[in-house]
Amino acid sequence: MNIPLIPGIQAWQAYRESDMDVTERERTEAVLEKNMIEEIIKTRDITPGQLEELLKTEDTGLLEELREAACETAKQIYGTGIYLRGLIEFTNYCKNDCYYCGIRKSNRNAVRYRLTKEEILACCKAGHELGFGTFVLQGGEDPYFTDERICDIVSEIRICYPDCAITLSLGEKTKESYQRYFNAGADRYLLRHETADTAHYAKLHPPELSLEHRMKCLRELKEIGYQTGCGFMVGSPYQTVGTIYRDIQFIRELKPHMVGIGPFIPHGDTPFADREQGSLERTLRLLSLIRLIDPYVLLPATTALGTIHPQGRERGILAGANVVMPNLSPVSVREKYMLYNNKICTGEEAAECRDCLRRRIEGIGYRIETGRGDKKFSNSKDTKNMF
């Protein structure tokens, strides 16, 4: 029997078509699987066949090897430090109508709110006192927040907290607007690409939104010099191994600083109310894979992951994630920023969330890293990752 020496999909195909006996099969399987993870590490890439195998396998040995490799990779670079990003959800008004999102404009049941500049600054003050080095201002695409208003808020935060990082997550804007926010003092921007497959994108969004424009925004953000984050939901309706493969390739090309991935969770007042929730297991496998493909990437263990499983965020960290984003929004509005059903942390004050996360992180042998959390990156305009 000629056991293929080259790992990867050809090897798998040859192996599957072979007539090896059981022990030989098991031995070969072990060799091939080991090689698969090694090959991912070596090439920082994955083939479509390997991805399919990785997402579908029930081989616990292989899965543990994947998880451990990712966890070790994160530890080699970041040690046991987990970065905190304080999330301020400052408006749930949105002019868009994404089919998956609970704050889409067509959801008449959403109770809308906007925080004032003073309220946003109060969140930053509380966060700063709790030791947060990064504020993430996230909101729907709300026309009330004109460039002037955003720049006014950003520059005020910049003056009050010169050492903090200011992250914006306000959706699609013109390059000119992104530049204005940057000049006002913002240094990071999160804009999930949602899916890198055009046809899939069109099934998740109304026709006025396009993947092409989304990608243009992401490239412009990088050009301006933002530390940029993209990302996608795991298990969104119509997602396939093929669309995930495209996500992975897109991430490899864009080289973002952060990749936010979390499970899709249906929201009762959206067209996807009856769709199946994304799986914990699949999310964890993809977190590990992304860690191996881009060792330096900042990878949050998301609130959505914590929502679908009580230890979801801890499991995320143990799969290679190294960021958590506790909520700094006033408790009075938390329930209203409902992107999906049963979102956690809606009743907790900022300090409670921070303490809860600290306990969780320390409980699995990690610790909270204070500060801006970008010491691993150069501050130059070249925002390429080191890999």
Q: What is the CB-side half-sphere exposure of residue 81 using CA atoms within 13 A?
A: 15
Residue 261's φ and ψ, nearest 5 degrees, are -130, 140
| Token duo for residue 128 | 């700063």
Q: Which of 37, 209, 230, 233 binds ligand 5AD (CB under 6 A)?
A: 233
Binding letters toward ligand 5AD, positions 128-167, x by CB under 6 A: ----------------------------------------
Q: How far is CA 144 from CA 35, 155, 252, in A?
A: 53, 18, 35
Cα(285)–Cα(298) distance, rounded to whole angstroms? Answer: 16
Q: Does 246 bind ligand 5AD (CB under 6 A)?
A: no
Q: Which of 33, 39, 194, 314 binds ligand 5AD (CB under 6 A)?
A: 194
Q: Residue 234: helix, strand or coil by DSSP?
A: strand
Buried b (16+ CB within 10 A) or exposed e, 256-295: bbbbbbbbbbbbebbbbeebebbbbbbbbbbbbbbbbbbb
Binding letters toward ligand FES, positions 268-307, x by CB under 6 A: ----------------------------------------
Determine the size of the site formed for ligand 5AD (CB under 6 A). Answer: 12
Q: Does 181 bind ligand 5AD (CB under 6 A)?
A: no
Q: Taking the CB of residue 34, how many other CB atoms lie within 10 A of it?
A: 14
Amino acid identity for residue 3 in this structure: I
Q: Does 88 bind ligand 5AD (CB under 6 A)?
A: no
Look at residue 352 and give the partner it binds from ligand FES, ligand 5AD, none, a contact being a CB closer than 5 to 8 Å depending on partner kind.
ligand FES
Look at residue 264 and give the partner it binds from ligand 5AD, ligand FES, none, a contact being a CB closer than 5 to 8 Å depending on partner kind.
ligand 5AD
Q: What string of DSSP letters covers 183-208?
A: HHT--EEE---B-S-HHHHHHHS-TT
Q: Does 94 bind ligand 5AD (CB under 6 A)?
A: no
Q: Does 68 bind ligand FES (CB under 6 A)?
A: no
Span of 150-158, 175-183, 279-287, 347-355 interacting with ligand FES by CB under 6 A: 347-355
Span of 194-202, 286-294, 350-358, 373-381 interacting with ligand FES by CB under 6 A: 350-358
Contacts with ligand 5AD in 281-310 (CB under 6 A)?
A: 304
| Token duo for residue 164 | 């903090």
Q: Angle at which helices 350-363 and 117-129 pack, to 10 degrees?
A: 40
Q: Does 14 bind ligand FES (CB under 6 A)?
A: no
Q: Which of 262, 300, 316, 373 binds ligand 5AD (CB under 6 A)?
A: 262
Strands of the chain, DSSP E: 81-84, 86-91, 134-139, 165-169, 188-190, 227-234, 258-263, 323-324, 367-369
Closer to ligand 5AD by CB, 297 or 304: give it.
Answer: 304
Look at residue 12 and give the partner it binds from ligand 5AD, ligand FES, none, a contact being a CB closer than 5 to 8 Å depending on partner kind.
none
Span of 202-210, 249-257, 260-268, 345-353 interacting with ligand FES by CB under 6 A: 345-353
Span of 48-56, 81-89, 180-188, 263-271 interacting with ligand 5AD by CB under 6 A: 263-271
Q: Does 119 bind ligand FES (CB under 6 A)?
A: no
Closest CA to 253 of 226, 286, 219: 219
Strands in 81-84's sheet, in edge-to-edge order, are 323-324, 81-84, 367-369
Closer to ligand FES by CB, 173 or 360: give it.
Answer: 360
CA angle 151, 120, 357 (to 5 degrees): 120
Q: Does 348 bind ligand FES (CB under 6 A)?
A: yes
Q: Does 339 bind ligand 5AD (CB under 6 A)?
A: yes
Burial of residue 241, with CB atoms counted within 10 A of its CB: 0-12 exposed, 13-18 middle, 19 or more buried: middle
Buried b (16+ CB within 10 A) or exposed e, 135-154: bbbbbbbbeebebeebbebb
Residues that bind ligand 5AD (CB under 6 A): 100-101, 192, 194, 233, 262, 264-265, 267, 304, 339-340
Residues that bind ligand FES (CB under 6 A): 326, 345, 348, 352-353, 356-357
